[in-house]
Chains A and B, each alone.
Chain A
């Protein structure tokens, strides 16, 4: 019974959280307090793990909550529940788009949607960039300008930027190569401060 319940709860979360993985968080808090399946502190732990493992964060969270409540079958039911509404909605949208593919108004809308979409990605990238390169919390407690910048991160950022853009033989490498390289640098130079 708990499996059906998990599927249904995550089906609703998938249906009502618009705009990406982190939008599922408030729903998870309320689910925990309504059912007593997990505590708020557990949600924080699950989020930390979901952010430090590959895969979309929302999917990772659903898998984790499902596993905590009912083992492997729970993780599968919760995850399938989360993605079912998107699959249904997207299949409908894709069919509609196909029908209106050569409609000039749909074309005109997408003509402007593309720069808007690029703008949204830029804004998301910017907020990550600030977090990665600057330490505003440390700066506001010490007030020293040298504390504002994470120098090791800035150096790694510059190295990776040059490698991916200006070193020709490296430009064609798969992005995962640079991610692995950065992970090793992170461990060697203790970028996480741990």
Chain B
């Protein structure tokens, strides 16, 4: 399959299988992009999520654009994005046209309550995989715990604050460690 078509189809699948918004996409991204296609690594997925938090727009779309762009420049970014939004366009248009009370149908509500439980389990499994890649020493461990706890306790603080603070901390520690090495020489 040509790469551009492959990008569209893969992200179409991801869009169609993502229930419950941005982070629920993570298990699908790991499965389709990291394990199956080997287009990106777990670390890169984390990088894209971090950048997606600070740039405008829907995180799922930002991630799709990023991966597509990585594989096939601007054309890849655009096709991956079209792929991830196409299922929404089709499904929502059909529902809006014929089933305006869709969310009140008992079977839908019950099925969705079950799906939310599955999404929780899948996200926890994803986080465990990501932890192995992102927490590699004491300092990264501290950053993980502090950000997780702060983001739970202070719900109104924008994620942008945490992302920027972590980035600055990374640069400062690098400069500090380097300065100390040079001082020793």
Residues of A within 8 A of B (CB): 14-22, 24, 45, 48-60, 63-64, 67-68, 72, 75-76, 79, 82-83, 85-87, 89-91, 93-94, 104-105, 107-129, 131-133, 153, 156-157, 160-161, 164-165, 174-176, 178-179, 181-187, 189-194
Contact = CB atoms under 8 A, between A and B. Distances in A.
B66 A115 contact: no
B174 to A, nearest CB: 4
Nearest to A68: B96
A19 B162 CA distance: 12
A54 B87 contact: yes
Contacts of B92: 49-50, 53, 55, 60, 63-64, 67, 75
Interface residues of B, number: 106
Contacts of B57: 14-15, 17-18, 58, 82-83, 85-86, 89-90
30 contacts: A18-B54, A20-B21, A21-B58, A21-B59, A45-B100, A49-B95, A53-B19, A54-B16, A54-B18, A54-B19, A55-B60, A56-B21, A60-B88, A75-B92, A83-B61, A86-B55, A87-B65, A108-B170, A116-B144, A119-B147, A119-B151, A121-B127, A156-B118, A175-B122, A176-B17, A185-B114, A186-B110, A186-B113, A186-B115, A193-B110
Given A113-B50, A178-B121, A191-B113, A119 B144 contact: yes
A182 B122 CA distance: 12
B140 A115 contact: yes
B119 interface: yes
Contact of B53 (A68, A105, A120): A120
A161 to B, nearest CB: 5
A132 B47 contact: no
A86 B61 contact: yes
Interface string B17-57: 11111110111100100000000000100110111011111
Interface of B: 15-23, 25-28, 31, 43, 46-47, 49-51, 53-62, 65-66, 69-70, 74, 77-78, 81, 84-85, 87-89, 91-93, 95-97, 100, 102-104, 106-127, 130-131, 133-135, 139-141, 143-148, 151-152, 155, 158-160, 162-163, 165-171, 173-174
Given A108-B174, A118-B131, A161-B121, A90 B55 contact: yes
